[in-house]
Structure 1
Amino acid sequence: MTDNQPQSLVEFKKISHAYHIAYSMASHGMLKTKTDLENLEGMNPEGLFQVGNGPPEKGKTIAEIPTKFALSGMDKNGPFSQLIANGIIVLLYELWNEDYRSKISDELGCATNEVMCDVMGDLRLIRNWITHAGSCADTKIKNLKVLKWPNQEGPFVATQIEMDAIQLEINTMNVYTKMHSNAK
């Protein structure tokens, strides 16, 4: 244990830092790429935006979408950023639930289902809304204990502000067992 925290919790927090930095860099990079593309001579906003495995004349197209959609998708907190944010939220929760919660339980000498963490409980709800309800919060929103987002029922979007808030809560999160008092 480090500073009275299980070593596995410390490891989980470090991994979450890498995910958060990847999200932040990807979001920032999309904005730069969008600007570069908009300033590219000969860019046809009515054409197709293609990604391939080499120069257009030699490579093979792997995927294509309308250029207008590609450019709008790269907006700050736009659809592409949202896709990455949702993926990271789901991945973080799955990593916690399928790997680190068990490691922490081993360190604490209790059953996996006895390891509790309010931040991760909130992420479980958000993950369920992302994967099962198309990013729409439901009446269980009242069960959020730590995160202040989403703050109403219905569709929600994870922007840089929400991703930062999630990471700040993960940075200070603690675990407790069902038999002990609640801790953020």
Structure 2
Amino acid sequence: MVQHKTQTVAYVRVSSVDQNLGRQLETIGDVDRVFEEKVSGGSRTDRVALLECIRYVREGDVVKVASMDRLARSLTDLREIVDEITGKGASVVFVKEQQTYSRDTEDAIGRLMLNLLGAFAEFERTLIRERQREGIRLAQAAGKYKGRSRKLTVEQLVEVRGLIGSGVPKAKVARDLQIDRTTLYRALARKADDGPVGE
């Protein structure tokens, strides 16, 4: 029987196409393979690289992630993903938190630490969102906040509708235009003569 050569892989994620993955890769260090994506962590189905990573790892492999919030956006999601990976006999290393989880080290203390650190990461994200909303409210009150810039012109919207009508996937259209899928869906929901559409 051929012995599987164990590998160390990295999973890195940023929320939008204009963000850089370099800092996470530097934090993680050298690995055999990198799974990377530029997508919000909200929906598992949209995270193709994560699904590929979970399918790829085998017994004895190590998945390195810069921090817990890069792997999951909620505590429930974090537990499920870690369980999927460790269930295959691989281990998960969170570099920032200095935590390692595997099937062999699964115990009550390890599970408690995962829950505590995951809850803190989720809480921190909530605080950041609240600070952003408060900052926008203050800027609006001072007349300094103009909102996000428009991303799609009426001409582009007509072109987008034509591409999608001819069978081009929406995800590809969004990538080619370098806009978020949410922006695209919002644009498609508007009438062609409503003016430019933004995020």
**Is the TM value for this pair above 0.5?**
no
TM-score normalised by length of structure 2: 0.26
Higher strand share: 2
Specify which structure has the bigger relative contact order, considering alpha-carbon pairs within 8 angstroms and separated by 6 or more residues. 1
Higher helix share: 1
TM-score normalised by length of structure 1: 0.27
